Structure 1
C-alpha cells in the first residue's frame, strides 16, 4: 500500500507537505486550495505558506490545511519564515517561479524533495529578462520534478535544465467531469435577461472578455477590432471584465473613437456574464490554461481566442483561433460567427466534448500524489 493512502499503513506516519504560494495569481491560489482539499481528504498533512490576503481570499484553513503567513518578498525575514515552516516537511511543492525560488532559498540544500508547478510564465525585457532566465535555471535544476500546465511550459523547463519535467493535470476547481447540457445558470437574482439589460445589450449581441487590463492581454488589439463592428446592425457590445494599469488609456480610446466597448471592472459573476454572452473573446499574447476559455466551453459559449501558449491544446477544435495581434483576423472571425448560427452551434457541441476530456480535480490530486509517492519513502512512526 502506498504511504500516501488516506489510512497510513502500520508503522508509517502521514505524509507532511508544504505548499508554497506567491499569492499573486488567483488561478494558482485556487488550484492550491483544491489540491489541499484533496490531499487532506486522503490523509496528507498540508501546510500552505502564502500571504495573509491569499488565505483570506481562498480559505486554505477551511479545507483542513494549516496556513503559515509568508509575504511574497524574498527578503531574509520571508525566507526565514518559509525555512521554519519547511523544517519537518517530507516534501515541498512550490507554485510559480518566484514562490519556487523562495522555496529553493528556504531549503538551502536540504535533501527535502522539491516539486515545482509552473502555472504561467513571467514576462520581462532587457536585463530583467536575463535575471528571470537565471531564476528559472536555478529553480528547475534544484527541483526533483517540474510540472508545467501547458506543453510549452514543460519544454521551457527542459530547456532550462530540468531533470524531470512533465505535463500537469490541472482540473478547473468546482467543475464536474461532464459539463451541463446548457450553460451554467447565473445567480437566480441575475438571470440572462437582467445581465444583458444591465450591460445595455438588449436586442444586440454581447461579446465578453475577461482579464486584467495589462499590456499582454491584447486589449489594444481588441479595441482595434471593435472599430470594424461599429457598422454592424445590430451593433455588438464588448464587455471587458477586469481592472489594471491600462484602464485610463483604454477608456480614452473607447471614448475618442466611439467604440462599442464597456470596461465593467472586476466582476465576481463571470459565469453569469458568460451565460448572457453570445461570444467569448480571449486576445492575450500568451496563456497556459486560461480560466476564461474553460468557463466558456463549459458554458457552451462560442470562443474566439489567440493561437498562443497552451490554448490550442486546451480547446482543440472547439474554438476559433486567430493569430495574436491580428485585429483584422479577430474582427472578421467575430463577424462571421455572429452571422453563422450553424457554426456557433457546432462550436457549442464541440466545446462540450472537449471539456469532457479535461482532468477533474480528483485526477489532478491523483497525479500529484503519484509524484509525491515517487519522491518519498515510508516513514517510521514518531
Structure 2
C-alpha cells in the first residue's frame, strides 16, 4: 500500500514528529510512504534515509496560497501514485482534496491533531466535504468534532516512537552549562500563542532555588519572551535553545517536562516525556488529562501559581518523580504502543481504499 502523507511542514512540532515515526515504521505493516510538505529538518532527515519527499508551499489562509499548495500536491500525487492520502489537519485535507484529479477514486483520510475551540465548527464543515474518514487523536478531540457537526470520527490515540538518547546525561548538561545536581525542567514547544510560554515564565519566577528551565523551540513570540525573561530576572535560570533535533538528549538531561498550552489534542511532547521516564506538568486541556493518568500533574490553564506549585512538587522531590515516571511508562506501554497504533492505521487505510468510510 502506497501512503502519501500531506502536512504543512516537517519541523519540530508534534504532528511532524508523529509523521516521521509513522513513515519510518511503515515497512513493518507493508506500506511504501512518501511525504508532501513545506519542508523542515524532519523532511531532510527522511530524505537522507531514502524516503520520497515532495516540496509543497505552506497553504496560508488565502485562496492563492491554497491553490498553489494544491498544484504542488497534485504533482506529488502524480509522481508518487499513492493508494491513499493521509492528510494531517484541516488545511492539509483541503489541499489534498483539491489536488486529487476530479473523478479519481483516491481516498483522503484526515488526522485531526487538535484545534482551538473556536475552529472546530469551521473544521467540521470543511471535513464533511473533503475527507472520507477523519481520525481524532483523542476522545476529547472526537467529542469536539461531534459537537461541531462531524458525526463519526474514528479515535486512534497517538503513539510514541521511542528514541534513545545519543549522549550521556552529564555530557548534555555540561554542553548546556548546567551542573549535575541542578533540577532541570524542559519545555518542548513552538513559541506561538497556543503554547503560552508567558504563563510558564511567570510560574518559573515563583520557584525558589537554582533550578534551570530549558525552552526547546522557536517561533514568532521568541523575542518578546526573551524580553519578558529579562524583566522577571530569569536570564540565568532560563535557556532559550531554539529549534532542536536532539529532543531525546534533552529529555535525558531533564528531570521534569512542562507544557502550559491553552489547547492541545494529544501532545506528542507529553508522550515522548513519559516514554523517556520523565514526569510531566501540563495544563488540563482536551486530551492531556487522559494521557497523563498518573504520569505527572495537570494544572488549570493560565494559572502560573498552580503551575509553579506542581513544578516544585516534582522538581524538588525525587521519590515523587520516581513514582510518577513509573506510572507514565506503564501508561505508554498500555495505551500508546506504536505497533498497535500502526496496525490500527493499516486497517483503517486499507478499508478506505476498499470504499468503506470506516
TM-score, normalisation: structure 1: 0.79
Inter-CA distance 337–365: structure 2 relative to 1 (3 Å threshold)? closer
How far does residue 203 in structure 1 lie from its aligned partner after superposition?
Answer: 4.0
- Within 2, Cα distance between the matches of 1:357 and 1:321? 20
Counterparts of 1:52 and 1:341 in 2: how far apart (Å)?
A: 40
Counting matched residue pairs gives 344
Q: What is the root-mean-square deviation of aligned Cα atoms in Å?
A: 2.9
Unmatched runs of 5 consecutive residues or more in structure 2: 60-64
2:184 corresponds to 1:209: no
Q: 1:120 maps to which residue?
A: 114
Match of 1:146 among 134, 137, 143: 134
Paired residue for 1:251, among 210, 226, 229?
226
Map 1:226-237; keep pairs closer than 5 Å.
226-229=204-207, 232=208, 234-237=209-212
2:152 equivalent to 1:164: yes
Following TM superposition, by how much is the alpha carbon of 1:61 offset from its aligned partner in structure 2, in angstroms? 7.6
The 1:93/1:327 distance shift into structure 2, 3 A limit, reads same
Q: What is the deviation of 1:99?
A: 0.6
Residue 289 in structure 1 maps to residue 266 in structure 2: yes
SS in structure 1 at match of 2:57: coil
Q: Which moved more, 1:206-215 or 1:15-24?
A: 15-24
* Deviation (angstroms), 1:225: 1.4
In 2 relative to 1, CA 193–35 (structure 1 residues): closer, same or farther, beyond 3 Å? closer
> What are the Cα deviations for residues 150-198 of structure 1, in whole angstroms up to 9, with x where unaligned?
22221233234335311124322345xxxxxxxx54515xx42651573
Residue 350 (structure 1) aligned to one of 319, 323, 327: 327
SS, match of residue 321 in structure 1: strand
Q: Is the 8 A contact 1:19 1:94 kept in 2?
A: yes
Q: Distance in 2 between matches of 1:193 and 1:89?
A: 44
Give the alignment partner of residue 57 of structure 2, picking from 65, 68, 71.
71
User: Does the aligned pair in 2 maintain the 1:92–1:115 contact within 8 Å?
Assistant: yes
The residue number in structure 1 matching 2:343 is 366
Deviation at 1:60, TM superposition (A): 5.2
**More moved, 349-358 vs 78-87:** 78-87
- 1:300 alignment partner in structure 2: 277
Aligned equivalent of 1:57, options 33, 36, 44: 44
Unmatched tracts of structure 1, length 5 or more: 1-14, 176-183
How far did 1:133 drift? Answer: 4.1
Q: Is the 8 A contact 1:79 1:106 kept in 2?
A: yes
In 2: Cα distance, 1:278 partner to 1:37 partner: 28
Query: What is the aligned partner in structure 1 of residue 89 from structure 2?
Result: 96
8 A Cα contact 2:10 2:37, kept in partner: no
Question: Counterparts of 1:185-204 in structure 2 under 5 Å?
Answer: 185-188=165-168, 191-192=169-170, 195-196=173-174, 198-204=176-182
> How far apart are the structure 2 equivalents of 1:36 and 1:255?
41
Deviation at 1:135? 4.7
Q: Distance in 2 between matches of 1:251 and 1:54?
A: 24
Query: Partner of 1:330 in structure 2?
Result: 307
